[in-house]
Amino acid sequence: MRRMSAREHTVDGALGFWEIARAHPKRVAVVGPDGAETTYGALYERVNRLSRGLRAFGLRPGDVVAVLLPNGTDFLAVQLATAQLGLYLTAINWHLTADEIAYILTDSDARVFLASARFADAARAAATAAGLPPDRCFGVPEVA
């Protein structure tokens, strides 16, 4: 198998999401399972909105954001937003039970919990069991 050069891992020499998004905002960044395309520019704006929302909660570098999301654009946007702010991202497997999720929320000292509406029942039960205040728990459509 041939190794790719660093140049081949870039878009016109730009390295990293933020550089590519600024240089090529109309270029497709993500194609979802349903075929929906998200451009670098749209993803960049979404990441910045999420970052501002997380910062509004007083989160500081080193704080933890827990997520219960399927793989996809939502997860990527949250991952990039947490990286942008220097936050830790704790990704929780959606196959876990509410008790297992609650344990992870507590053990990770999550300050904010983002979950897909698809997992709302388990997320609510876990957040309650972990003692996370309701104003620190969000369904992804509320933040995306």
User: Could you tell me how far CA 27 lies from the centroid of its own chain?
Assistant: 21
Residue 1 lies in a domain: no
The CA R_g of the chain, rounded to the nearest whole Å, is 17
Domain count across the chain? 1
Residue 138 lies in a domain: yes
Q: Which of 75, 76, 84 is nearest to 55 (CA)?
A: 84
What's the predicted TM-score (pTM) here? 0.84
Confidence of residue 9 (pLDDT cuts 50, 70, 90): very low
Tokens standing for residue 24 = 């090529």
Distances (CA, A) of 94 to 10, 50, 71, 110, 122: 32, 21, 10, 17, 9
Residue 82 lies in a domain: yes
Which residue range(s) make up the domain with 40? Answer: 9-143
Between 31 and 143, the higher pLDDT residue: 31
Interval 89-144: pLDDT, tens: 999 999 999 999 999 999 999 999 999 999 999 999 999 999 999 888 888 665 44
Residue 3 lies in a domain: no
Of the listed ranges 1-5, 22-26, 96-100, the one predicted with least confidence: 1-5
- Give pLDDT, residue 7: 52
Residue 18, domain CATH: 3.40.50.980
